[in-house]
Each structure stands twice: as structure tokens, then as C-alpha cells.
Amino acid sequence: MSKDEYDLEAKLNAKPPSRIWTLAEGRALFELGAFYLSRAWLAQLPKGDGHTVKVLPGFMATNNSTLPMRNLLRDLGYDAHGWDSGRNVRVDHALLHRLESQLKRLNDDSGRKVSLIGWSLGGVLARELAKLHPDRVRLVISLGSPISDDRNHTNARRLFEFFNGRDTEIEREGRFQGLNIAPPVPTTSILTKTDGIVHWRGSVQGPSQSPTENIEVYASHCGLGVNPSVMIAIADRLAQEEGDWSPFEPHAAQQWMFPRTGF
């Protein structure tokens, strides 16, 4: 399937998740419990090379939501940071300026490219930031992010547009267009077909000239940032040597965590 055919199919199938999955988002509490029960084991995942990782929270969330993940990443040897933008609500020039300034500072301070991890809306922002500064970004990982360029894939659309308008301040100036286009760096989209906030089709990356992949997990949307299988995939992606990217392949003992039902 060509990229144009893929984009057309995604647009025609744009719809929010089933209400059943939305009502079941409370299962994220069990995923949080599983994270802490397996915390000692997760700390034994492949160690990193010390490079900087910046983690962006989802819509309406703050750095508190990504704290468990960042603490794990520090235990794995990374210089993990939250963002410096408070609650993720408005997508405007002030936010973009803070995102760019922090990325430049982290890159300059370490002298190495920065990996970006974004949860939901945070993943959209991470991808766009990587498009603006590919020379400063090592890779991008998005978690349940609405990257299809069609907000009909998420049932948070009305709330998002209440705060941002039909078009965000940045979009009104012609930027942040083509969200479905992957940045020119290795990019991973981690998604779940039982997502109750963003329909999984809206998180699937289509064909791209840059290295891209989709990794399916068993998770809720609100649990993606603490789900143990997501942590396994993130640790594996970050541990790759810079410039030596290859698609994710779980170990034999981990394969049951990663369904391969196709997209």
C-alpha cells in the first residue's frame, strides 16, 4: 500500500474508540500496580549509555504522570528529564518556545542528541519537535498518540478544541501540519487496540522514508506510561547504539506481551 492510499484509508476509518474501552480505562490502576510489583525486575532491563531522555506528558497531564517511567529510566542509566511546561493543555507559541529551548539546552549541556518520549498529545509534540530539530534528536517514541492528522480518532477532541480552538495557534500560522508524517529520525509508535481515548488506527505510522515502526501492546491508554510491556519496548529502543537502529523484536519469553494481529 502506498503512503497516499494508507492516508486515505486512515481518514475514511477515522472514529473515536468504542465506549466500552473508554469506560474500562480504570484498568490503568492495575497496570500501575503491575509496574511496581515488577519494578525490581524492570530495573534489570538493558542498560543505557547515559544519553539524555526527555519525557512529555499527555493532554491535561503534568510531569507527575511520567515520574515512574523517568525514575526507571534513571535506574537504567539515562539522564531522564520531564518537560518544563507544567500541565499539557494549550498548544501555542509559548509552549513551542519552551520545548525548543529545553531541547537545545539539554543537547548543548550533554553534547549528545536527545531521545524524546511522548505520551498521547506529548507524543505528537515530540514528533513535531523532532521535525524542527532533527540534528538534536536521537529518536522519538510515542505512546498512544493521535498522529493521524485527524482528531476524529480521539474522544478528547471537544475538550482539546475547547482550550485550543478548532486550529491551534501554531496551526493557524501553517505549522504542525501533516502530523501523520514521521520525523526524519528513528520513530516508534507504541499503541494498544484497547485504547479508550485514542483509536488505535490513529496511532499507526504509515510508510515513511525514515526508520519507523509500530509496536502493539496489551494496555489501556491511561496505563501506557507505566505498563511493564511498554517499559520493555522503551528500554530496548533506547539501548540501541546511535545510528544502528533496527525494528523491535521481543525475546522469546516476552513475545506473549506483544500481539501481532496486524494493522
Question: What pLDDT is recorded for position 260?
Answer: 84
Segment 82-110 mean pLDDT: 96
Is 3-241 assigned to CATH 3.40.50.1820?
yes
pLDDT in tens, 217-234: 999 999 999 999 999 999
More confident residue, 261 or 112: 112
Cα separation of 147 and 49, whole Å? 29
Reduced to 3 states (helix: H, G, I; strand: E, B; else coil), residue 167 is coil
Cα separation of 246 and 255, whole Å? 17
Segment 163-189 mean pLDDT: 92
Mean pLDDT, the chain, as a whole number? 93
Segment 73-95 mean pLDDT: 96
Candidates 194, 193, 205, 43; CA nearest to 123 is 205
Among 79-93, 165-179, 183-197, 210-224, which is the least confidently predicted range? 165-179
Segment 104-122 mean pLDDT: 98
DSSP string, 18-61: PHHHHHGGGGHHHHHHHHHHTHHHHTTSPP--S-EEEEE--TT-
First to last CA, the chain: 12
pLDDT in tens, 8-52: 455 556 788 888 999 999 999 999 999 999 999 999 999 999 999
pLDDT at 90 over 50: yes
Candidates 153, 108, 162, 158; CA nearest to 135 is 108
Question: What pLDDT is recorded for position 70?
Answer: 98
